A and B are shown apart, each in its own frame.
Chain A
Amino acid sequence: MILFLQFVINGLIIGGAYALIGIGLTLIFGIMNVVNFAHGEMYMLGAYFLLTFFSMLGLNFYVSMLFAVAAVMLVGFVCEKSILRPLRGRSIETVMLAMIGLSLFFQNVAMLIWSPIPEAIETPSAMPALIIWGLYFLPQRILIVVIALMLVILTHLLLKKSKMGKALRATFLDPEAAALMGINTDRVYAFTFSLGAGLAGAAGVLLAPIFTVHPYIGNLANLKAFAIVIIGGLGSFAGAVAAGLLLGVTESLGAAYVSSGYQDAVGFVLLIIILVFRPAGLFGKMEQRR
């Protein structure tokens, strides 16, 4: 029983980071109608920027985390301006292929800059694990959950309370009406894409110290992000959070009790089941408005 709980907790921790990737992707899809195949690369870049700032330049760990996320947001901003803007109004498939090209580009540029050899980031917190009721809590992993939750709540508040958030939600409902009401939709799109990229980058920053970093980690992150977003319902914020946690836990339990080789298949199997029986996703109410 203790072991089962431990697996659930481990799953929730990874799931927190999954949720971040998921809300980033779902925002970009919901507001911009872009299936962002380069989303996993933002995750990868987050991890590499952390490696650069922290391990290579020797900055403070937390400062490095901030810088890394900011750098990813900047990359997202540039991508939106250079690739997505000229493609606005083109079919969703065309944009999809351009984003695949972009993801391939980032992977190979990362390989050129940082070499294809997997690297580990030495964590600063040498604190011993906390043991509560026989369950292990590593400080590094607690940090992941705390920061992930904070970012989810912050993003939620940003969408609900701020003026920009209001503009985002208006654009989500009806881009043309929003533009007529004086909302600068170009700015909304640029902001959305940078925010989404930043969230994926944050997930990369959080998970990098517990996994190794290499140029191709984005591939799997990307596919998992799709699984999360579809399980939660395309465009649904709450759905992405719930599905991220669900995927983390199912993977952890699947690896423990079924087969670790098929751990990464869990997301795809869940995804196919959802698509076949409930294509709108678990929280698929938003979908009807589109």
Chain B
Amino acid sequence: MNLNRITVFVFLIAAVLFPVFVRDTYVIHMTILIGIYTLGAISVNLLLGYAGQLSLGHAAFFGVGAYASALVCLKLALPMWIGMIVGPLFAGLLGYVVAKLALKLRGAYFVILTISVAEILKLVGLNWVTLTKGPMGLTDIPVAVIPLAAVGTIDFGQKIPYYYLVLAAAILCAALQHRIVQSSLGRSIISIRENEDLAESVGINGYRVLVVIVVISASITGFSGSLYAHYVSFIDPGVFAFFFSVNLVMMVIGGGKGTFSGPIVGAILFTLIPEWLRVCGDARMAVYALIVVFIVIFMPRGILYSVTRPLARA
């Protein structure tokens, strides 16, 4: 076993045992959010880190996943699990449409098109009142309760069962990311990131490969939205916020884009930093913004790289 495998193994054990040692509800709550955002960060990492395409509209997929999942449960009275299949499905579908339209373009055009899609969906969420209840949002989104014959029930409305659900989802998606990157699809997107013309010259259909990766990325973010909706049990059109898309990208860049652990480290950092900054009072978001600018300018390869590189050299 090499060092990387050991790190992953230790991290996994720590994550599984975490609720056994930490009983603080607030800490568990933050950890669940980190898990949910990890999914989003992984999906952005696939697209930005490996395929080299920046999307600032991932809130669209997150929001569609959240709304689809919530509406399936609220309007059709189906269980949470169906919602968690329908959410990613709708997000993936939207991803397909967006990819078909947007991937004819690159760079700034692609970025702005993804933003526009999220903004339009936000307006739809605000104005399609009969479906979404507009700015009032959807409340009382149900969670699953699994009855166990003798022991009682597993109630996903409780923090700890939900923690394990999110952990399982995060492990699944991290493994998926790993598998994709190791596959021929992964090699194709990396070659497109490095040099699209060259990749095409050896027979890679850049457009088609990127459509596939956008659909996968959108579905993962949709899944993340779905997990979020059932966890907080309330969503409003704020789930389509531009700031959320930016945050996902910052997680990936801050953690280290195009690496396995980058999105995980980024999700942990960028969920906790705003919490730590509560000490700054009203100036909190201004300080946060400065940190964002600082990281972009001075740590373009991520915090993990900036911290471990000097150590490796020493």
A residues sitting closer than 8 Å to B (CB atoms) are 29, 35, 83, 86-87, 90, 92-94, 96-98, 100-102, 104-105, 107-109, 111-112, 219, 223, 226-227, 230, 234, 259, 261-262, 264-265, 268-269, 271-272, 275-276, 279
Chain A residues, Cβ within 8 Å of B102: 275
Establish whether residues B249 and A261, one from each chain, have CB atoms under 8 Å apart when the complex forms: no
Could you say which of B21-29, B69-77, B287-295 contacts chain A?
B287-295
Establish whether residues A90 and B300, one from each chain, have CB atoms under 8 Å apart when the complex forms: yes
Chain A residues, Cβ within 8 Å of B111: 35, 93, 96
Partner of A108, one of B113, B127, B283: B283
Contact residues of B between 105 and 123, Cβ < 8 Å to A: 105, 107-109, 111-113, 115-117, 119-120, 123
Range of interface residues on chain B? 35 or more
Give bound CA distance, A271 to B118, whole Å. 13
Known: A94-B300, A272-B113, A275-B109. A101 touches B292 (CB 8 A): yes
Known: A265-B120, A275-B105. A96 touches B54 (CB 8 A): yes
Q: With an 8 A cutoff between CB atoms, is B145 at the interface?
A: no
A29 CB to nearest chain B CB (Å): 8
Q: With an 8 A cutoff between CB atoms, is B234 at the interface?
A: no
What are 18 A-B residue pairs whose CB atoms fall within 8 Å in the complex? A35-B112, A90-B300, A92-B107, A93-B107, A101-B292, A102-B293, A104-B246, A107-B285, A108-B285, A108-B286, A262-B123, A265-B119, A269-B120, A272-B120, A275-B101, A275-B109, A276-B101, A279-B109
Establish whether residues B283 and A97, one from each chain, have CB atoms under 8 Å apart when the complex forms: no
Chain A residues, Cβ within 8 Å of B105: 275, 279
Partner of B293, one of A105, A261, A269, A272: A105
Given A98-B296, A275-B113, 16 more A-B residue pairs with CB atoms under 8 Å apart are A35-B112, A92-B107, A96-B108, A97-B292, A100-B246, A100-B292, A104-B243, A104-B246, A105-B286, A108-B284, A223-B119, A261-B127, A265-B123, A272-B113, A275-B101, A279-B104
Establish whether residues A97 and B296, one from each chain, have CB atoms under 8 Å apart when the complex forms: yes
Chain B residues, Cβ within 8 Å of A262: 123, 127
Establish whether residues B286 and A109, one from each chain, have CB atoms under 8 Å apart when the complex forms: yes
Give bound CA distance, A104 to B111, whole Å. 18
B residues sitting closer than 8 Å to A (CB atoms) are 54, 56, 101-102, 104-105, 107-109, 111-113, 115-117, 119-120, 123-124, 126-127, 242-243, 246, 249-250, 253, 282-286, 288-290, 292-293, 296-297, 300
Partner of A227, one of B116, B123, B243, B285: B116
Establish whether residues A272 and B108, one from each chain, have CB atoms under 8 Å apart when the complex forms: no
Partner of B112, one of A87, A105, A226, A265: A226
Known: A104-B289, A108-B283, A279-B109. A259 touches B297 (CB 8 A): no
Nearest B residue to A83, CB-CB: B293
Chain A residues, Cβ within 8 Å of B124: 265
Chief secondary structure at chain B's binding surface: helix
Known: A97-B292, A105-B290. A112 touches B283 (CB 8 A): yes
A21 CB to nearest chain B CB (Å): 15
Chain A residues, Cβ within 8 Å of B296: 94, 97-98, 101
Chain B residues, Cβ within 8 Å of A261: 123, 126-127
Nearest A residue to B250, CB-CB: A97
Give bound CA distance, A83 to B290, whole Å. 11
Give bound CA distance, A90 to B104, whole Å. 24
Establish whether residues A93 and B101, one from each chain, have CB atoms under 8 Å apart when the complex forms: no
Establish whether residues B127 and A219, one from each chain, have CB atoms under 8 Å apart when the complex forms: no
Chain A residues, Cβ within 8 Å of B115: 223, 226
Chain B residues, Cβ within 8 Å of A94: 296, 300
